[in-house]
Amino acid sequence: MADTLVLTMSCPDRVGIVAAVTGFLAGHGGWITEANYHADAGSGWFFMRQAILAESLDFPVADFPRLIEPLARQFGLSWTISESRIRKRTVILVSRQDHCLSDLLHRWRTGELNIEIVAVVSNHPDLESFVAWHGVPFHYVPVAPEMGRAPFEEIARIFSEARGEVMVLARYMRILPPFLCERFPGRIINIHHSFLPSFVGSRPYHQAYERGVKLIGATCHYVSAELDAGPIIDQDVIRVDHGDSPEEMARLGRDIEKMVLARGLRYHVEDRVLIHENKTVVFA
């Protein structure tokens, strides 16, 4: 596939934004292959995503900040630019359950996800040989209450030294402290085995069973300092009934968890997610 540049923008809504941006791109020979727009009437905010053939522009990507600056000032734009040929460096955090990790490793190895898995971190040593078989560095970082913030400082160090761009909690069964969430805002993605905001915290399938729900699901969201309350990227559900035990719900839920996490991560690494306050605009 041809190398593309992905330009995302958000700003206060007003007349002329699309014309100005597309005119700027056309003026430099930019060939737009995909365009997405959303005007949020409630917040008065405008969101845009443009995919451009990299070879069509008459300037190198390094010059983009300088050339876009007049438009950014005129419209109050917040913007990002990324290159599709550069895979996002991904660090995965996992505990003992490996279904989400296995799925991501498979999608990475087959090229389905445009990521480079540069490290796996776990609070248990169980999956070390499995991860090593894939040729990925494995880091065992035990976590216990008496250790305080030290384990999470170590996770932050591993992430930074690996030049990580996105951290994925693939059923990592520990709560990240606020300092870590605030250090990497919009870069930590979690899969929660519950259709948030219902059934926050641990044992959500047991909570769902006790409540007698008819639908269970999974939520992929960004991690924030408030537990399970970060901006939601993707969700999905599956039907259950009164005959399903908590264990059967968990079995069914694992398939949903894998699919939702992979889809949410793909949206993120393809720059299809724009965060505004505690909500997202997802150009799927």
Active site residues: 228
Q: Find the distance separating the first CA and the last CA of the chain, reported in whole Å.
A: 19
Task: Identify whether the C-beta of residue 189 lies closer than 8 Å to the C-beta of residue 166.
Answer: yes
* CA 90 remoteness from chain centre: 10
């923008």: which residue's tokens?
A: 9
H or E element in which residue 281 lies: strand 279-282
Residues in the chain: 284
Q: Quick check: 108 and 118 in contact, CB under 8 A?
A: no
Q: What is the rounded CA–CA span in Å between residue 255 and residue 218?
A: 9
CA distance 37 to 11: 12
Sign, CA dihedral 265-166-145-175, equals negative
Q: What is the CA 86 to chain-centroid distance, rounded? A: 16
The span from the CA of 266 to the CA of 189, in Å, is 11
Cα–Cα dist 233/7, whole Å: 19
Name the residue with tokens 């699919």. 259
